[in-house]
């Protein structure tokens, strides 16, 4: 026999996830995670998630657990889970910026906040990082208005623009914007030797490495996706960084237990390239070229948390991103990142406090769409 759990399937930005009300899931966290894994069809050794709702790639294997906030400073609480495809793990160590864009619309449509036209402001307590995200949600007739002319690269068509303001995003997981205290660190990476990186923690911890250090130009797409060797290089650097900032004790543990955090991206100076949709991005339209990994595979657009971290790094003197960025950013308040799907612009506000950089706010625009609502069925054995 199976039990049914109310659920909503939503696209947020360039990701998709299954949204649950917290009180619809088991209170016991071990049982809860077993239920979520079963709902997604994980773990699947064939990496297809054929027996569940997961889409067999990291960007479609995500969950959001939402509840009303008892703290009057917030409206709702958002707990993000990255559901492993081939392992029995739901990773709650970081957050997802793309899925964040669907939390405000979910809260409006589920009646968790009063709907105000034409824009409803939703104050989101991001539980994983203990940070505030303010979502400005377009509303019509008491519901999220998904219609609009705002386009994001990586999603066909247009939609209603959701503005996300990530307040004080620094130190989301490690407690420090620069977890090692340094704008650049030299890591001793097995098989690669000394590799210079920037490790920055803003929305999520992200490791930035110059593409040329690993034999890339920085605008590759399929070459990264199809190369086991390139993926292994990036994973080795990621795992060395995870140990360096104390998230994991060994590189092996990082690969085994922390696939999503930290994230790793290779960056380069602005270069003209062709996107996945065969559109040419001119070098003078961007500040940096970026290719970011998502649980061992190339992200076909960009993780918004990675974009936030990279934009912040581009404003801190001495970092890998600062060294490589072009001149389109002007004052530095808007950073344009060229990714496989196109361009994302991040508004980043940085201050100096007590001689150290302080990330005040990051702002991005996204769209979202409710795709399905109803019940997900999970065999009873997973509730025991």
Report pLDDT for 263. Answer: 95
Burial class (CB in 10 A: 0-12, 13-18, 19+), 36: buried
Q: Which of 206, 135, 200 is nearest to 170 (CA)?
A: 200
Q: Is the pLDDT at 308 greater than 60, yes or no? A: yes
Report pLDDT for 257. Answer: 82
Q: Is the pLDDT at 256 greater than 80, yes or no? A: yes
Q: How confident is the model at residue 327 (pLDDT cuts 50, 70, 90)?
A: low
Average pLDDT over residues 2-18: 97
Residue 14 has phi, psi (to 5 degrees) of: -105, 20
3-state secondary structure at position 83: strand
CA distance 289 to 275: 12
CA distance 107 to 116: 12
Report pLDDT for 330. Answer: 42
Kind of pairing, strands 2-12 and 90-91?
Answer: unpaired
Q: 68-72, 294-298, 319-323: which has the minimum mean pLDDT?
A: 294-298
Q: Which of 206, 203, 233 is nearest to 319 (CA)?
A: 206
Q: Which of 270, 282, 293, 279 is nearest to 341 (CA)?
A: 279
Report pLDDT for 191. Answer: 87
Give the chain's mean pLDDT.
94
Inter-residue contact 217 to 271 (CB < 8 Å): yes
Percent of the chain with pLDDT over 90: 89
For 282, the token pair is 């001119």
3-state secondary structure at position 267: strand
3-state secondary structure at position 179: coil
Average pLDDT over residues 137-147: 97
Chain segment 183-223, per-residue pLDDT in tens: 999 999 998 999 999 999 999 999 999 999 999 999 999 99
**Full set of structural domains in the chain with CATH:** 2-161+368-383 (3.10.310.10), 185-360 (3.10.310.10)
CA distance 10 to 374: 12
Query: In residues, how long is the chain?
Result: 384
Q: Is the pLDDT at 140 greater than 90, yes or no? A: yes
Chain segment 23-76, per-residue pLDDT in tens: 999 999 999 999 999 999 999 999 999 999 999 999 999 999 999 999 999 999
Report pLDDT for 329. Answer: 44
Report pLDDT for 333. Answer: 85
Q: Tell me the HSE value of 233 on the side-chain side, using a 13 A CA sphere.
A: 19
* Start-to-end Cα distance in the chain: 13
Chain segment 337-377, per-residue pLDDT in tens: 999 999 999 999 999 998 899 999 999 999 999 999 999 99
For 316, the token pair is 């801190």
Q: In the chain, how long is the greatest CA-to-CA distance?
A: 61
CA distance 66 to 74: 12
Residues contacting residue 356 through CB under 8 Å, at least 6 positions apart: 177
Q: Is the pLDDT at 296 greater than 90, yes or no? A: no
Q: How confident is the model at residue 381 (pLDDT cuts 50, 70, 90)?
A: very high
């Amino acid at each position: 026999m199976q039990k049914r759990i109310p659920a909503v399937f939503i696209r947020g930005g360039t990701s998709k996830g299954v949204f649950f009300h917290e009180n619809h899931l088991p209170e016991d966290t071990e049982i809860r995670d077993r239920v979520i894994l079963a709902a997604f069809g994980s773990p699947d050794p064939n990496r297809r998630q054929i027996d569940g709702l997961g889409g067999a790639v990291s960007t479609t294997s995500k969950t959001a657990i939402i509840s009303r906030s008892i703290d009057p400073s917030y409206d709702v609480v958002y707990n993000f889970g990255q559901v492993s495809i081939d392992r029995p793990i739901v990773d709650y160590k970081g957050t997802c910026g793309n899925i964040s864009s669907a939390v405000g619309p979910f809260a409006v449509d589920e009646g968790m906040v009063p709907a105000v036209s034409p824009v409803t402001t939703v104050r989101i307590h991001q539980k994983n990082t203990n940070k505030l995200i303010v979502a400005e949600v377009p509303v019509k007739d008491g519901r999220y208005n998904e219609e609009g002319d705002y386009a994001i690269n990586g999603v066909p068509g247009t939609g209603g623009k959701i503005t996300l303001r990530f307040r004080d995003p620094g130190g989301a997981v490690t407690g420090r914007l620069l977890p090692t205290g340094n704008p650049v660190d030299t890591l001793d990476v097995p098989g690669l030797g000394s590799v210079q990186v920037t490790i920055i923690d803003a929305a999520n911890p992200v490791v930035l490495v110059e593409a040329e250090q690993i034999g890339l130009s920085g605008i590759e797409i399929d070459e990264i996706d199809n190369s086991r060797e390139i993926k292994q290089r990036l994973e080795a650097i990621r795992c060395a960084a995870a140990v360096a900032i104390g998230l994991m004790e060994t590189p092996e543990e990082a690969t085994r237990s922390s696939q999503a955090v930290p994230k790793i991206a290779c960056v380069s100076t602005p270069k003209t390239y062709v996107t996945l949709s065969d559109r040419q991005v001119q070098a003078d339209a961007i500040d940096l070229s970026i290719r970011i990994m998502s649980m061992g595979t190339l992200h076909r657009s960009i993780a918004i948390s990675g974009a936030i971290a990279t934009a912040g790094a581009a404003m801190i003197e001495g970092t890998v991103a600062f060294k490589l960025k072009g001149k389109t950013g002007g004052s530095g308040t808007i950073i344009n990142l060229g990714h496989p799907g196109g361009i994302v612009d991040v508004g980043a506000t940085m201050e100096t406090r007590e001689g150290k950089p302080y990330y005040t706010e990051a702002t991005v625009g996204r769209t979202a769409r409710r795709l399905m609502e109803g019940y997900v069925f999970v065999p009873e054995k997973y509730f025991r």
